[in-house]
A and B are shown apart, each in its own frame.
Chain A
Amino acid sequence: MSDRFVYVTYIRTTPETLWDHLTKPEFIRVYWFGVSAESDWKQGSSWKLIFADGRVADTGEILEVDRPRRLVIKWRNEFKPELKAEGYSRATFVLEPSDDVVKLTVTHEIDRTGSKFIEAVSGGWPSVLSSLKSLIETGQALPSQKKAA
């Protein structure tokens, strides 16, 4: 059994532009409320999510990368001991173009049930995805006081 959520958003853009927004720190920190990611985005490379103040939020590894179609990240919380104790989760990003939009599917799962980590990240993703969509489509990310998970 596993805990999982699946979020989908449709963004008026190209898969390449969306891919760049998912992997380039200068884009990520704009729509992710100051949070950014560090990685060279190659299979087997390390991956880190960094808060605006420099603290490490999450760490992991790039499991699969197929630009601009599919990205899989092995992902563990680092700043809350009870969430870190749950071990690694897996986040999968799938980009599928159709007409003038790209369907972005984010699946985040962990091999356990009753996961507090999955509960925490599931609350954060909708704001991040709305902000990403807004940034790409209008050039403006969303202001938000909500904390990232």
Chain B
Amino acid sequence: MSMDAVFKALADPTRRALLDALRARNGQTLSELSERPDMTRQAVTKHLGILESANLVVTQKRGREKLHYLNPVPINDIAERWIDKFEQGPLDALSHLKRKLEKEGR
């Protein structure tokens, strides 16, 4: 459960896309996550395994189904390590401004 595992897991666009999919809708099955034109079920299984061992995805059984949940806690641990409490406010404001401007610029 090292920080290295988190950075390695995040250093791949496919795995980030899977986290985005769970952020959009939490608690999906493997079949639901495999409904992507760009990825085989085997590839999704492999990537989910890497995300799980980095603790970025956690699974829970519901009946016969295994549901996948986004676990942002390790990312929060990383952020807290380098972001001081006095920087949080200004950083939130900057990030809000960036999102707003980028939306308007589209």
Contacting B88 at CB < 8 Å: which of A107, A131, A134, A144? A144
Q: How many residues of B contact A (CB 8 A)?
A: 20
In the assembled complex, B49 has its CB within 8 A of some CB on chain A: no
In the assembled complex, B106 has its CB within 8 A of some CB on chain A: no
**Known contacts A6-B60, A107-B60, A134-B80; A126 and B88 CB within 8 A of each other:** no
Q: Chain B contact residues: over half helix, strand or loop, or mixed?
A: mixed
Sorting the interface of chain A by its residue count into under 10, 10 to 19, 20 to 34 or 35 or more gives: 20 to 34
Interface residues of B in 58-97 (CB under 8 A from A): 58, 60, 69-77, 80, 84-85, 88-89
- Docked Cα-Cα span, A25 to B25, in Å, equals 34
Do the beta carbons of A6 and B88 come within 8 Å of each other? no
Do the beta carbons of A8 and B58 come within 8 Å of each other? yes
- Docked Cα-Cα span, A140 to B60, in Å, equals 31
Nearest CB on B from A124, distance (A): 11
- Docked Cα-Cα span, A144 to B91, in Å, equals 13
Residues on B with beta carbons closer than 8 Å to the beta carbon of A107: 60
Interface residues of A in 1-47 (CB under 8 A from B): 4-10
Looking at A5, A6, A131, A133, which has the most chain B CB atoms within 10 Å of its CB?
A6
Residues on B with beta carbons closer than 8 Å to the beta carbon of A125: 73
Those 4 A-B pairs whose CB atoms lie nearest each other, nearest first: A143-B85, A126-B76, A6-B69, A8-B58
Residues of B at the A interface (CB closer than 8 Å) are 1, 26-27, 55, 58, 60, 69-77, 80, 84-85, 88-89
